């Protein structure tokens, strides 16, 4: 009998919950993936400029005790303050590693650079992180679009914000047999975004009437000093009910990163901070790591597409928030 992959709600994956908070005027926000009972997690960082917190604990050589939350946010390195609020919320709700003297929630985080859109002075903070975490625990609302960490996401920034387009956060999940795999991704790429070989967002010409190929524009750069400013990064996570150890989850994160290469061009430059987490949570089932990694790349590609299609807005509204267009 042929086994068919089917689309499922990301919220149907047991052991994980999602919450958002954002400042709609400042155009920045936070998305929290909570694992109340913990989740073994791996990570792959494939670019040169990640803004991150506690990611070394996810290396395969570190103790494999699991984590309690992944925080995705705007604000560049300023946004790392949001994790303080997530830790406070988790502690108040009895979630964390029991050290014998205190609960210590294990929280990792990655940020996008969104300071060129909306406001450069409004950044995710402890209060916003707390709100997003509480929303995860109480509401569990994985919603694609310009929400949470995707509020200030943009793409196609090779020639500045005037020729870029809006992006956001996207979710997608699939099931094969008993194995469930979901993806969440905040697409804030310097490059163009493609779905099944067709460009769906990215660099536009100066009159915003047609697309320009970002890779061709890149090839015109003659010297390192001409590199675009470091205002990018695509950050995402895979969650699964597959029973995997940290080293295997690191492999799955690496395979899921193949979706970045399939859908974003150029990608993985020193001007990016591209990151993929992979977490195993809930009631777990046995699965082949290679098959899981292959499916992870597929759902991540779908989530990238969803991040674009759910965040589209007209040019007048979009440009009103681009700081170099005012």
Q: For the residues 181-187, what does the mean pLDDT come to?
A: 98
Residue pLDDT, tens place only, 34-47: 999 999 999 999 87
The pTM of this model reads 0.95
Task: Using pLDDT thresholds of 50, 70 and 90, give the confidence band for residue 65.
Answer: confident
pLDDT (0 to 100) of residue 229: 59
pLDDT (0 to 100) of residue 120: 95
Residue pLDDT, tens place only, 109-132: 999 999 999 999 999 999 999 999
pLDDT (0 to 100) of residue 324: 78
Of 168-177, 223-232, 240-249, 291-300, the one with minimum mean pLDDT is 223-232
Q: For residues 257-290, b (16+ Cβ closer than 10 Å) or e, as one string?
A: bbbbebbbbbbbbebbbbbbbbbbbbebeebebe
> Is the pLDDT score of 325 beyond 90?
no
pLDDT (0 to 100) of residue 2: 59
Structure tokens that stand for 94 in this block: 């009895």
Q: Which CB contacts under 8 angstroms, 24+ apart, belong to 77-81?
A: 77/51, 77/111, 78/111, 78/115, 78/123, 78/124, 79/28, 79/30, 79/51, 79/109, 79/111, 79/123, 79/124, 80/51, 80/52, 80/53, 80/109, 80/111, 81/123, 81/124, 81/125, 81/126, 81/129
pLDDT (0 to 100) of residue 273: 79
pLDDT (0 to 100) of residue 58: 93
> Is the pLDDT score of 48 beyond 90?
no
Mean pLDDT of the chain: 93
Say whether 184 sits in a helix, a strand or coil. Answer: strand
Residue linked to tokens 């809930």? 282
> Is the pLDDT score of 98 beyond 80?
yes
Residue 245 contacts by C-beta under 8 Å, 6 or more apart in sequence?
A: 40, 64
Task: Using pLDDT thresholds of 50, 70 and 90, give the confidence band for residue 50.
Answer: confident
Torsion over CA: 62, 64, 67, 73 (sign): positive
> Is the pLDDT score of 228 beyond 60?
no
Residue linked to tokens 């001409």? 226
Q: For the residues 225-241, what does the mean pLDDT come to?
A: 80
pLDDT (0 to 100) of residue 268: 83
> Is the pLDDT score of 49 beyond 80?
no
Domains of the chain: 5-320 (3.60.70.12)
């Amino acid at each position: 009998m042929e086994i068919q992959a089917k689309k499922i709600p990301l919220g149907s994956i047991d052991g994980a919950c999602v919450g958002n908070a954002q400042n709609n005027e400042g155009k920045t926000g936070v998305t929290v993936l909570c694992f109340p009972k913990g989740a073994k997690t791996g990570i792959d960082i494939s670019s040169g400029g990640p803004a991150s917190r506690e990611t070394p604990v996810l290396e395969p050589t570190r103790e494999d005790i699991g984590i309690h939350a992944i925080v995705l946010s705007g604000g560049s390195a300023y946004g790392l303050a949001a994790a303080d609020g997530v830790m406070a919320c988790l502690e108040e709700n009895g979630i964390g590693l029991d050290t014998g003297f205190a609960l210590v929630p294990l929280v990792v985080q990655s940020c996008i650079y969104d300071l060129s859109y909306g406001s450069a002075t409004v950044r995710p903070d402890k209060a916003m992180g707390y709100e997003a975490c509480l929303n995860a625990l109480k509401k569990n609302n994985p919603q694609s679009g310009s929400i949470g960490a995707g509020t200030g996401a943009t793409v196609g920034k090779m020639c500045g914000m005037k020729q870029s387009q809006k992006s956001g956060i996207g979710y997608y999940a699939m099931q094969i047999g008993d194995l469930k795999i979901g993806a969440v991704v905040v697409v804030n790429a310097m490059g163009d975004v493609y779905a099944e070989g067709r460009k769906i967002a990215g660099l536009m010409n100066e009159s915003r009437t047609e697309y320009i190929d970002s890779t061709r524009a890149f090839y015109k750069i003659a010297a390192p000093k001409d590199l675009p400013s470091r205002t990018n990064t695509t950050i995402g996570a895979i969650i699964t009910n597959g029973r995997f150890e940290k080293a295997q989850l690191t492999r799955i994160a690496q395979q899921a990163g193949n979706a970045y290469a399939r859908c974003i061009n150029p990608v993985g430059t020193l001007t990016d901070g591209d990151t993929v987490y992979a977490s195993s949570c809930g009631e777990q089932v046995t699965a082949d790591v290679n098959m899981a990694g292959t499916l992870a790349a597929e759902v991540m590609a779908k989530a990238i597409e969803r991040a674009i299609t759910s965040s589209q807005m007209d040019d007048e509204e979009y440009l009103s928030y681009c700081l170099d267009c005012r």
